[in-house]
């Protein structure tokens, strides 16, 4: 293997929420959210990921979201389309659509529920890579999918020219260190957890695909920039400053708290699709308290 793979982005990319109003996607709010993200100095936008409630978007909505974000961003930052599925054929269909729509890259989550074998995982990702023409970020989040990408699987996937990066949300720093040691010349590594930006970047990671940056794009970008510049102590101090708020954003399943916080800030309605629902009052109070302590609200 040799690395001739260009980075999709360095820094913070927002796993952006999908705002709803009366059961439909609220594109008026979506436009404002995107514009404020770019004004806030964000380095990329991920559309229709976990935080964007992709699991409850219809096929038509999923495609419309990708189209809308690509057109609204208009090349100012990279757009990464979440197109992974537990059905490889459907994931390929979505991925091909995103490529044709002008997305800069694809984010492919491990097939959920099916719990594929290592061989099945490899075949899933390689077939998608072979049938698409944009760079691919693998997304490892075993707590949600029941499926973990192990080092031997990563090493095999690293051979493909279009599989260029990994969003690692396993939370396992030891495994991520091994991944960097063995495959860091072939993959860019992005943190998938906002509380692990600095540790992962200290190991050589390129940044984060972030929930926090929905609320604080400039600050999340700055944490990454400090680390990229080698100022890990300052980056760590900044991450720790926001740690209580980060934890409050995950006191219930993502994206319930972050969408609630965005609604509290006037960006959208507090509207999610079942089985996601409104926060428990006590958790909402915890979220508001953390925001008030940082003068976010």
Angstrom distance (rounded) from CA 215 to CA 192: 16
Query: Residues 277, 48: contact at Cβ < 8 Å?
Result: no
Angstrom distance (rounded) from CA 63 to CA 260: 25
Q: Which residue among 5, 97, 134, 139 is the active-site one? A: 139
Query: Residues 244, 189: contact at Cβ < 8 Å?
Result: no
Query: Residues 103, 79: contact at Cβ < 8 Å?
Result: yes
Q: Terminus-to-terminus CA distance in the chain, angstroms?
A: 49
123 catalytic residue (yes or no): no
242 catalytic residue (yes or no): no
DSSP one-letter string for 1-66: -------S-SEEEEE----EETTEE-HHHHHHHHHHHHHTT-SEEEESSTTTTGGGS-HHHHHHHH
Query: Residues 170, 181: contact at Cβ < 8 Å?
Result: no
Q: Which residue among 5, 134, 167, 225 is the active-site one? A: 167
Pick from 268, 172, 258: nearest CA to 283: 258
Query: Residues 48, 18: contact at Cβ < 8 Å?
Result: yes
Known catalytic residues are 139, 167
């Amino acid at each position: 293997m040799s690395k001739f793979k260009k980075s999709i982005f360095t820094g913070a990319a927002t796993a952006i929420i999908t705002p709803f109003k009366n059961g439909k996607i609220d594109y008026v709010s979506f436009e404002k959210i995107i514009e404020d993200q770019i004004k806030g100095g964000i380095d990329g936008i991920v559309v229709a990921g976990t935080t964007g409630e992709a699991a409850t978007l219809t096929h038509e909505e999923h495609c419309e979201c990708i189209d809308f974000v690509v057109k609204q961003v208009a090349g100012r930052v990279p757009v990464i389309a979440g197109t992974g599925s537990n059905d490889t054929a459907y994931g390929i269909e979505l991925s091909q659509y995103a490529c044709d729509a002008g997305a800069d890259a694809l984010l492919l989550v491990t097939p959920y529920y099916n719990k594929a074998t290592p061989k099945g995982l490899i075949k899933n990702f390689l077939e998608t890579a072979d049938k698409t023409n944009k760079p691919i970020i693998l997304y490892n989040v075993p707590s949600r999918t029941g499926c973990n990408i192990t080092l031997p699987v990563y090493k095999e996937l690293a051979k493909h020219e279009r599989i260029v990066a990994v969003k690692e949300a396993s939370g396992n720093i030891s495994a991520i260190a091994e991944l960097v040691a063995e495959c860091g010349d072939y993959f860019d590594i992005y943190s998938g957890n906002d509380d692990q930006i600095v540790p992962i970047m200290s190991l050589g990671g390129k940044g984060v695909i972030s929930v926090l940056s929905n609320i604080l794009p400039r600050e999340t970008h700055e944490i990454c920039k400090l680390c990229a510049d080698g100022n890990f102590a300052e980056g760590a101090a900044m991450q720790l400053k926001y740690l209580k708020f980060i934890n409050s954003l995950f006191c219930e399943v993502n994206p319930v708290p972050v969408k609630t916080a965005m609604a509290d800030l006037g960006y959208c309605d507090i509207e999610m699709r079942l089985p996601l629902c409104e926060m428990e009052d006590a958790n909402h109070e915890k979220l508001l308290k953390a925001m008030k302590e940082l003068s976010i609200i």
